[in-house]
Structure 1
Amino acid sequence: MLTVLVVGASGFVGSAVVRAAAGRPDLRVRTMSRTVLPGDHVCGDIIEASDTRAALVGVDLVVHCAHASPGDPAAMTTSELGTQTLCRAAGRQGARVVLASTTAVYGNGPHRNLREERAPVRPVSPLSRARAAAEEVVRSYRGLVVRAPLTFGHGDRWLIPTAISVQRALGWIDAGRSRHTVIHVDDLAGGLLALARSGGAGATYHLGNPNPVSVRTLLEAVASSLDIGLNPRDISRAQAEQVLGPRLVSLLADEHTYDSSAAWAKIPTGPRHDPTRPTQDEVAWYQRVLAEPAALARPGAAE
């Protein structure tokens, strides 16, 4: 039995990795975060070498999901130096590290069926620059980098809530035609665990659902499941940018599709979740989040 350490275990992706690992009889799970969690848990910060060493005792695999929060002035320090501390300690332990990163490191779209080796890294925000820096550290220690596209599911407070809120307030940007690679957080979690064992040392992978979906198809399916109406109005990109700014409009209105075939070739099972068919759990989650007071676009969340 292998012991896997999930770093950033209280977050959106990290908590999904914990759930996925807990259901595997061949894995023993340990968690690390700054939030106290039940079970085999180390409460600490990856920047602190003593915390990291304690968390890594007896660990075989590390799934690194700890990232700075939007608006964190120390984002680069948290990601780069914290990742360096983690990888150095993992190397001494002989543990393999896989980093949960993001396709946001490519910057503004359009991105059309990008493959990993042909995609220049051009981050445009502090958070995506911090992710790119963490990637460099992980690869230098022969770890794996997994870049996820827009991610949905239980715990999502950005993608669906922001897209639905924007659409209902403004309407369809360019008729909602833009196509996107997305992934359910549970499919991402399972893929991270699989790649931690089977992926190539120092490799970078995209991990998204192989079937892109248009903004219109995605939001109409979610709205139908939530029994809410959408705004029939069509607005131009220029009109949307006056309200939202160019970065968020690029995320919603430009194509963002990524070739994930290299990753899925190393994962025993394909994605289990269809973005156009939300589960009852997801419906309940999004109903709750959309009922919360929130701005049109959550500040700083658009990497």
Structure 2
Amino acid sequence: MSTPLTLVTGGTGFLGAALVRRLVADGERVRVLDNNWRGRPRRLGDAADAIDLVVADIRDPEAVKAATAGVDRVVHMSAVNGTRFFYEQPELVIDVAVRGILNVIDACRAHGVDDLVVASSSEAYQSPQQIPTPEDVPLVVPDVLNTRYSYGGSKLASELIALNYALEGPTRTIVFRPHNVYGPDMGWEHVIPEITSRAMQAIAAAPDDGPVPFEIHGDGQQTRAFIHVDDFTDGLLVAIRKGEPRNVYHIGNPDEVRIADLTRQVFAVFGREPDLRSRPAPAGETRRRCPDIAKLRALGFTPSVPLAQGLPPVVQWYRDHQDLRSSSA
């Protein structure tokens, strides 16, 4: 029996490439579909020589259908992530999400692929009433006029499409929601890279040894629960290999941190302390977010990289790779 072939859409993105590298390391065959608009083939590392890379747009139905031929499983991770894009290009965000999931399902049906794993997001439920948050909370778009929700709303739609189409096939459809994954080369439109870059600028402007003036959104008491990319990939593989059909799985780390404390940890990597100043938070910002991962724990997953261990190397990576900012999303 030949080794199963997995198609990873969005496979040169941060999360997609991490999965591809792990699958290759595990001896699996992999095909990647990505147009490399925000993805970067460099993220594949040594795995690049072991995969079939198809450069195409997830919105092109014929390209998706061709890439799906002969595969045994599709992990659909194509998306336009990054808060700036939610506000500045909401039509693109929605177009990629909705056309992408429809094209993937059509391609799976055309080739008889019955194993589909779909990436959603914690943004699909926005600001939950229950913390830690289980998978069965209501999915919410609080304000259809706020372009921020172009991403969360499109992920909500993707879940609805994937899980309801699964009644007719692909019948082994699984949805996963990543929660604030961080790691080296994750892009620049995320909280840790953004704080790191601004911290470097602020420190350069304040060479004295005292606290460094630094603005943060709101009062800094907002919380997030960050999961290292290595832990995330472990959790995703558990969901792929052990998840139940038509189920949703949160992949995250339930350890919350206040944004003000996260900022202090970033500054500590540079040997400095911030003097935090408040500025208005963008409309629609979530006050608190932390996943309940009991469902995934029951399948054998446990995160193992605490933020105190995982954060400094990531901050150092961004410190040392500022030259990539102009050419890397």
Q: TM (normalized to structure 1)?
A: 0.81
Deviations 1:248-278 (A, max 9, x none): xx34xx2211211112322x44223222223
* Structure 2 residue 131 is matched with structure 1 residue 88: no
Q: How many pairs align?
A: 281
Residue 209 of structure 1, CA deviation: 0.8
Give the Cα separation in 1 of the matches to 2:67 and 2:241: 20
Distance 1:177 1:76, change over 3 A: closer
Distance 1:110 1:170, change over 3 A: farther
Residue 280 of structure 1, CA deviation: 6.7
Matched residue type, 1:255: R
Deviations 1:95-152 (A, max 9, x none): 4111222111222467621111123332652122222211212112332111112221
Unaligned 5+ segments in structure 2 are 42-47, 144-148, 167-172, 200-211
Query: 1:145 aligns to what?
Result: 175
CA contact (8 A) 1:5 1:56 kept: yes
Query: 1:229 aligns to what?
Result: 272
Q: 1:190-229 to 2 correspondence within 5 Å? A: 190-225=234-269, 227-229=270-272
SS of structure 2 residue aligned to 1:122? coil
CA contact (8 A) 2:234 2:301 kept: no
Larger Rg, first or second structure (1 or 2) = 2
Query: 1:297 aligns to what?
Result: none
Give the Cα separation in 2 of the matches to 1:42 and 1:233: 46
Give the Cα separation in 2 of the matches to 1:288 and 1:48: 37
Q: TM (normalized to structure 2)?
A: 0.75
Unaligned 5+ segments in structure 1 are 295-300
CA contact (8 A) 1:111 1:257 kept: no
SS of structure 2 residue aligned to 1:277? helix
Determine which of 136, 150, 163 is the counterpart of 1:126.
150
Residue 293 of structure 1, CA deviation: 7.5
Query: 1:46 aligns to what?
Result: 58
Give the Cα separation in 1 of the matches to 2:273 and 2:120: 32
CA contact (8 A) 2:266 2:312 kept: no
The percentage of counterpart residues that share the same residue type is 24
Distance 1:290 1:94, change over 3 A: same
Query: 1:273 aligns to what?
Result: 305
Query: 1:298 aligns to what?
Result: none
Q: 1:58-207 to 2 correspondence within 5 Å? A: 58-68=70-80, 70=85, 71-72=88-89, 73-91=91-109, 92-108=111-127, 112-122=131-141, 125-142=149-166, 143-156=173-186, 157=188, 158-164=190-196, 165=198, 169-170=214-215, 173-174=218-219, 176-207=220-251
Residue 182 of structure 1, CA deviation: 1.8
